Amino acid sequence: MRTLVMFYTIMICILWIVPKCHSDQLKTGTIKTAPSPTQITGTPTPKPQTPPVKSAPGMTAPVPTKQGITSSLGQKAVIAVRSPAQGTQHPVGKPLPIIWDRSTISTVASVNILLMDRPGGTIQTAIKTGTPNTGTFYWTPSPQFAMPGKSWVVRIETTDKKSQGHSGAFSFAKSDTGRTESGLPQQHNQNPPTRPVAAQHLMQNDVSIWKDIKMENDNLSGINMNQIDIMQTQINILKRELENEKEARIHLEKIISEHILRFESHVHEYRFGLGRKISMSSKRNWNNVSDDELIIYVDPNMEHVQKEPPITSIPK
């Protein structure tokens, strides 16, 4: 009996001590080893998930984004210019559509639009600086760019000049070969009228245009004084025709008014009924002859009809 009690006591002690020893050894960050003067105990430093990015001198480090590494620091984006297209010819004096892809520079607020002789060449003119980055701009070129055998390119660049793009090479052409740069028709007459001959057709109360225009160089302006005199003569002819038309109109109105008065003076003698039809106007203004028309039926036996009061309105 005593032996059995001692056996149970020893087993209870073993079962209580062994789990405690194992639990001490399984604690996080605790290492149970023999003591050593050079050993360092404690929690080890975790290694970083992403190693630091290092770059050689003169190289740019990639920029990580949510989608991955898309570009490098300091890298210039290329702007795709879709219009004008390569090999096209555009008439001067008409709007030229300039279209570029703004998706590569969507964060840029404004861009510069330049006209160049070739990509990377000399800037010929600044079409528009600081224009909104909408992807579309219309520019009307002047006739001075219509040079035979000359090609141009359009350059789109950001205001900080970090991103840019060029269009295809294109050219300009005159919109109408039958007209000068000023828009006047070319004179094919070998002997155009001189200023004194053209001045003979001017009216006395008119002022010639050539007296008011000051030109230093007729060749550069694209217009000469003979063309101005011809235009002035044509204007005067039209003015005279207009005055003649006014006089004829006044005379016609007078004749019509007399006929209307004649009908109105005798219309009170007529009775409405079946008979022949007379069309007349109730207004004496020639401009409204067809606007307000009276249809009067005259009795064939009007000589036996008593006099009626004058007509003042359309009968119902």
Core vs surface per residue 271-289: b (16+ CB within 10 A) or e: beeeeeeeebbeeeebeee
Report the predicted TM-score, pTM, of the whole model to 2 decimal places.
Answer: 0.36
> Domain limits of the chain?
81-173
| 298, pLDDT greater than 60 | no
SS3 call for 10? helix
What is the 3-state composition of the chain as percent helix, strand, coil, each rounded to the nearest 5?
Answer: 30, 25, 50
Tokens representing residue 181 in the block: 């740069």
Helix (H) / strand (E) element for 131: namely strand 123-132
Between CA 67 and CA 81 the distance in angstroms is: 26
**Is the confidence at residue 165, as pLDDT, over 90?**
yes
| Architecture (CATH level 2) of domain 81-173 | Sandwich (2.60)
pLDDT tens readout for residues 48-99: 555 555 544 444 444 444 433 334 444 578 999 999 999 999 998 889 999 9
